[in-house]
Structure 1
C-alpha cells in the first residue's frame, strides 16, 4: 500500500482494504484482483473524490455501491474489466465515468438517472449492438461521449437531449444510417467522429456548430452540397478510404482548412473548393491530370498531396495562384519531367518513382527556397552542376534508384552536394558495382582510372580559367546569380 496526502494506492490485493483513513480523497486500486464491489466496501469514505478500479477483473458492482460518496465522487474509472452492465445508482456528483473495455451489451433507461453533472462518458470497446438513445437524455451536461469499437448497428428510441455535447465519437461500429433527428438537440457539437462504419452518404442535418468531421473508412460515394451546405463553420473534413468518385464543385464550406480524400475513386481533382483551404490530400486515387482551373481559387493552400495516382499531365503554371504552397507530393505517378512553373514558395518537393529522365536548370530556377527534393527511382542518367546551383537552400536531395551515367561532371556534382552537407540518404550516388570473386583488382583499376581522368579534366579546366581570368576580370554582368544562404 502506498499512502500520500489523502491519497491511497494499493498493490496485490483481492478486496478493498479495511481501516482506510476516513479523509482519503483519491483511491487507486487499479491492476489488482478484485471481482466485486459491495456497498460495505466503501462505507464511511464520504470524502472520496476519485476512485480507480481499472484492470481488476471486476465482474460486478453492487447497486448503490458508492452511496457514501453521493455528494463527493467526481471521477470513477472502471475500464478494462468484465462488467456486463453500467453500475446502477452511481453518485449524482460524478463528472467523469470511464467504463470502456468491458462486456456491456446495452444501456438501460435508468443507467444514468440523476447524473446531471456528468461531463465525460467513455463506453468504448464494449458489446453494444443497439444504442438506446433515450438512456442518455438524463446527461444534460455531457460534453464528451465515446462509443468507439462497439457493435452498434442501429439507434433506437427518442433522440437524446444533449445540449452541451462537444465531442461525439462512434468510430469502428456498424452504423449504416443516422437520422437527422438524432442530432437535433446537439447544438454545441464541435467534433464528430464516424470513421469505420457502413455509411453510404454524409448524414443529413448535421449540427451547424461542427468544426471537425471524420468519415474515413465508410462507403460514401459522393460529397454533395445539399448534404453539407449547413456546415459553414467546418474547418476539417476527412473522408479518406471511401468510394468517393465525385465532389460537387464549390462546396459551401467557407471556413474549411483541411480536406482529406485519400484512397477514393476520384478521376478528376476537385475544383472550386473552399477558399481558405490549407491542406488538400488526394493520395491514392485515379487522378490523371492537374490543371490551373482546378486549383485557381486556392490562394491559401500550403500542402498538396497527390502521390499514388496516374498523373501524366501537369499543366504549366497550374499552381500559379497557390501563393503559399510549401509542400508538394507527386511521388508514384507517371510524370516525365518536373512540372513547369512551380511556385517559388515550395520547401519540399517529392517526385519519387515517376518517369523523369532529365532535369534542366529552368525546371528548378524558381525554387530558391526548396529544402528537400526527392527524385528516387526515376530514369535520370545525368545531373548538371547548374541544377544544384539553382537550389541554394537545399538540405536533402535523394537520387537513388536511377540509371546514372557516372561521368566526371556527375562526380563533381556529388562532391559539391557533400561539401554543402546535403543529405543524400543511404543510397550511394555512382557507387561502383560490387566486383565478382577474383575481379577485385579489375574493379579497383577501373575506379582508379575514372578518378584519374576526372582529375586531369579538372586540372585542364583550372588552367583554362586562369588563362582567361585577366580578360574576364572587368566583365561582370548584371545577370550574375548571387545566393544569400542566410536569407
Structure 2
C-alpha cells in the first residue's frame, strides 16, 4: 500500500514538471533560486540573493524579486539588461538606491519597489526612465518627495505612493505628469493639500487620498480633474466642504466621503454628477442635510447613510436616485422622523433598511410607492404602533423584520395584501394580549409558517396570558370583547369583618375584570348580584370577602385560575350555588417577617439536625472499629 501511494505521488510530480517544461527556457543559464520562463520572465525568491543575478537569460524582459537580501540598487545592478522593461523588487528591506542606478536601463516601463525600507530617494533618480509608465513606491518609509522627483516622466500612467509617511507634498510635485491616470496617496499622514497640487492632472481617472489626516479641502482643489471617475476621500478628519468643490467632476462615478467629521454639507454639493454610481457619506456626525443636496443620479444602485446624528432627513433626499436598488438608512440612533414622501421616487427599490434608528411612528403612506420592495427591515426601533394600511399594495414584499420595538398590538389585516410574504419576525415586543390583539393573533395562527420566530412572540400582559405565544391564543378567549361594557366588568367590593377589638377597618374595594366565554354546562341559572359574607368566616378573624355571581357565559377557566393585578393578596376562592367566593387576606408586614423568620429557623434547625446525625454516625462507626480491633487482640 505504501509503495502504491509513493509511486502515485512521484508520478504526479513528474506530470507537474512536464506541464511546466513548455514555459521553461531552453537556456540552461538560469540562476539558482530563480524560475526562468521561455517567454522572458524571471522570478527569484530567497534571502541568499543580495544583488540582481548576472547569469540570467539574455532575452529577459521581466524580473521579479521577492523576499531577498538585496538592500541596495547600485549603479551596475541593472547594466547589460537592454531588454528589461519590468522590474519588481519587494519585501527585501531595500533602503538605498544609487543616483545613477537607472541610467543603464532606460527602457524600463514598470518599476515596483513595494514594501521595502526606503526613507529617502536621490533627486531625479527616475528621470532617465523617459518611457516609464508605472512606478510603485508603496509600503516604504518616505516622509518627503522632492518637487523635481518625477521630472521628465511624461509617459507616467500609474503612480502609487500609498503606505508611506508623507505629510505635506509640494504643490508642483505632480506638475509634469500630464498623462497620469491613476494616483494613490492613501494611508499616509497628509494633513493638507496645496490648492493647485492636482491641477495639471487633466487625464487622471482615479485619485485615492483616503486614510490620511486631512482636515479641510481647499477651494477649487479638484477643478482640473475633468476626467476623474473615482475619488476616494474616506477615513480622514475633514470637518468642512467648500461650496461646489465637486462641481467640475462631471465624469465622476465613485465618491467616498464616509468616516470623516462632517457636521454639515453645503447646499447642492452633489449636483452636476449625472454619472455617479457610488456615493458614501455615512459615519459622519451630521446634524442636518440641506433641502437641495443630490443632483440627478439615475445610475446609483446602492446608498448608505448611517452613523450620523440626524433626527430627520429632507423629503426629497432620494428623489433623484430613480435607479436605486438598495437603500440603507440605518444605525442613526437619533433619527426619529421620516417625511411622508421620502420614498416617493424609487420605483426599483428592492431592499430598504431602517433598522436601529429611533423611529416612534411611521406615516401611513410612507411605503406606498415602493411597489418593487422585497425586503423591509424595521427592527430595533421604538415603534409603538403601525398604521393598518402601512404595507398595503406591496405585493412583492417577502421579508419584514419588526423585532425589538415597542409594539403592543397590530391591526389584524395589516399583512393581508402582502401575498409574497414569507419571512416575518415579531419577537422582543411587549405584546398586550387583550381585545386588540385578537386579529393579529388569528393571522399568526393561520400563517405560522411565515412568522419565523413565532415561539418567541409572547404576551407581556395581562398577567393571566403572560409568556403565552400569540399563536396559541384562540378566538373563544376573546368572546368577552364583544359584550357590552356594562357586562364586561363587575365591581367586586371587599369588606372587613369587625374584630372583637374596638378598632374598625375601612372597607376596601377591588375591581376585577372577568372574561366572558363559553358557559359551564353544569349551570344555566344566573343568581342575583348581591354581595354577602360567607357564614364560614369566624368573627374573630380578619378577612376580605367578595361574592361574584357566575354568569351563564363565564368560562370555567375563571374557576381554575383567577389573577388579581392590584389589591390584597389572594388566598382562596370557591364556587357554591352559582357564586364564586373570593377570600382575601390584607398584607401584614410584621406577620410576614415573623413567618419568614420561623421558616428560616426551621430550615437552619433541620440542617443542624442532619449534621448532628451525620456526626453521630461517624462517631458510631469509629467506636465499632475500635471494638472490633480489641476483640481481635483478645481472641487473636
Q: Match for 2:88 among 63, 72, 77?
A: 77
Distance 1:121-1:449 versus aligned 2 partners, 3 A rule = closer
Alignment-derived partner of residue 251 in structure 2: 233
- The answer to whether residue 379 in structure 2 is matched with residue 352 in structure 1 is yes
**Mind listing any 5+ residue stretches in structure 1 that lack a counterpart?**
9-14, 434-445, 459-487
Match of 2:281 among 261, 277, 296: 261
**Greater alpha carbon shift after TM alignment, 60-69 vs 351-360:** 60-69
**For structure 1, which segment, 406-415 or 185-194, has the greater mean C-alpha deviation from structure 2 after superposition?**
406-415
- SS for the counterpart of 1:4 is helix
- For residue 374 of structure 1, the aligned residue among 372, 376, 401 is 401
| Structure 2 match to 1:332 | 356
Helix, strand or coil at the partner of 1:179 = coil
1:197 Cα shift?
Answer: 1.3
Deviation at residue 21 of structure 1 after TM alignment: 7.4
Q: Determine helix, strand or coil for the equivalent of 1:130.
A: coil
Aligned equivalents of 2:93 and 2:152: distance in 1?
Answer: 25
Q: Partners of 1:300 and 1:417 in 2: how far apart?
A: 34
* Whole-Å separation in 2 of the counterparts to 1:415 and 1:363: 21
Alignment partner, residue 66 of structure 1: 78
Alpha-carbon distance, 1:171 to partner: 1.0
Q: Deviations over 1:94-128 (max 9, x none)?
A: 33322111111123223213323333322221101
Contact 1:86 1:99 in 2 (8 A): no
CA distance in 2 between counterparts of 1:227 and 1:77 reads 38
- Relative to the length of structure 1, the TM-score reads 0.77
| 1:303 Cα deviation from its structure 2 partner | 3.8
* Alignment counterpart, residue 304 of structure 2, candidates 281, 301, 304: 281
Would the aligned equivalents of 1:384 and 1:413 in 2 still touch at CA under 8 Å? no
Counterpart in the other structure of 1:217? 235
1:196 aligns with 2:211: yes
Q: Tell me, what secondary structure is at the counterpart of 1:361?
A: coil
1:82 deviates by 0.3
Mapped partners of 2:456, 2:474: distance in 1: 16
Match of 1:130 among 144, 164, 172: 144
- Distance 1:416-1:60 versus aligned 2 partners, 3 A rule: farther
**CA contact under 8 A between 1:132 and 1:157: conserved in structure 2?**
no
Whole-angstrom CA distance in 2 between matches of 1:154 and 1:454: 73
Output the TM-score relative to the length of structure 2. Answer: 0.61
Q: Secondary structure at the match of 2:415?
A: helix
1:171 to 175, 180, 186: 186
| 3-state SS of 2:414 partner | helix
**Post-superposition CA distance 1:426-448 (Å, at most 9, x none):** x9533799xxxxxxxxxxxx979
Inter-CA distance 265–456: structure 2 relative to 1 (3 Å threshold): closer
| Distance verdict in 2 for CA 1:347–1:114, change over 3 Å | farther
Shift of 1:287: 0.8
Which residue of the other structure, out of 94, 112, 116, is the alignment partner of 1:102? 116
Equivalent residue in structure 1 for 2:330, among 290, 307, 324: 307
Checking the alignment, whether the CA contact within 8 Å between 2:208 and 2:232 is kept in structure 1 is: yes
Residues 381 and 169 of structure 1: is their aligned pair in 2 closer, same or farther, counting only changes over 3 Å? same
Aligned to 1:316: 340
| Distance in 2 between residues matched to 1:24 and 1:319, nearest whole Å | 58
Q: Which has the higher contact order (CA 8 A, sep 6+)?
A: 1
1:37 is aligned to: 51
Partner of 1:55: 67
* Structure 1 residues 382-415: Cα deviation after superposition (integer angstroms, max 9, x where no partner): 4556333322233433334323457786666456
Stretches of structure 2 lacking an aligned partner (at least 5 in a row)? 1-15, 461-466, 479-636
Of 338-347 and 94-103, deviating more is 338-347
Q: How far off its partner does 1:18 sit?
A: 9.2
| Aligned-pair CA distance for 1:334 | 1.5
Partners of 2:392 and 2:470 lie apart in 1 by 35
CA RMSD of aligned residues (A): 3.5
CA contact (8 A) 2:455 2:469 kept: no
Offset, 1:268: 1.5
**Residues of 2 paired with 1:246 and 1:348: CA distance?**
30
Task: Go from structure 1 to structure 2 and tell me whether the alpha carbon gap of 1:325 and 1:123 turns closer, same or farther (over 3 Å shift).
Answer: same
Tell whether the 8 Å contact from 1:266 to 1:285 is kept in structure 2 after alignment. Answer: yes
Number of aligned residue pairs? 432
Once the two structures are TM-superposed, the CA of residue 365 in structure 1 deviates from its matched residue by: 0.6
For 2:145, what is the secondary structure of its paired residue?
strand
User: Secondary structure, in 3 states, of the residue corresponding to 1:5?
Assistant: helix
CA contact (8 A) 1:361 1:390 kept: no
Cα contact 2:234–2:256 (8 A) shared by 1: yes
